[in-house]
Amino acid sequence: MPRLLVEFPDGNQQIIEIDQTGAFFDKSRILWDERTEGALPGNLELGKVEKQEGVLVVLPDYKPEYKEILQEQVEQYIKEQAGVLWKAADDYINAEINGVGLSILASGVTNQKPKAIAVAQWCDSVWAEYYVRAAKITAESEVNTDFSMFGSKPFTVLELREEVKDLWTAPQ
């Protein structure tokens, strides 16, 4: 299938496959049409190409408009990966404690109960690791979403409940 090298108004360059009778809506944006100009060069790197006197020229660096597009793509990828990592950390903690358990934990921490403080420190260690990993996200990095190295929370919700039950029971 023949291809077109197209440069959009924002500077984005794309290779678009078309059929033999296909076209692009704005012919002024077509840098190269394989049907009339031959195969695209193999060393083509999008964003580093321009047409000069009917010849494709590979530039030493990206065109400024294309650099902006790449930067936006990198920022979007990092944001998406941070979201994936956040969800993994949140899911890991919520698999161990959530809902009423978190309320009990909050009561225990507020009242300086040792088991509650230990569980809060466990939760905090997962979130601290999240921030370390999030700070290292780049366009090339793979995000590690495995938090299993933290193991289970140190005390069960039942143990936390026992530790704070005097907060809601009347003295006898």
pLDDT, residue 33, reads 93
pLDDT, residue 170, reads 65
Is 3:23 a contact under the CB 8 Å cutoff? no
Report pTM: 0.76
- H-helix or E-strand spanning residue 52: strand 49-52
pLDDT, block means (10 residues), the chain with 172 residues: 93 92 89 92 90 90 94 96 98 96 96 98 98 96 97 97 88 64
CA distances from 151 to 14, 133, 144, 147 (A): 47, 18, 16, 8
Show the tokens assigned to 9: 């108004």
pLDDT, residue 34, reads 93
Separation between Cα atoms, residue 50 and residue 163, nearest integer Å: 71
pLDDT, residue 20, reads 82
pLDDT, residue 23, reads 84
Separation between Cα atoms, residue 30 and residue 45, nearest integer Å: 16
pLDDT, residue 172, reads 61
pLDDT, residue 116, reads 98
Is 130:136 a contact under the CB 8 Å cutoff? no
Show the tokens assigned to 63: 């065109």
By C-alpha distance, which of 80, 92, 74, 71 is closest to 143? 80
Is residue 12 classed as helix, strand or coil in its secondary structure?
coil
- H-helix or E-strand spanning residue 15: strand 13-17
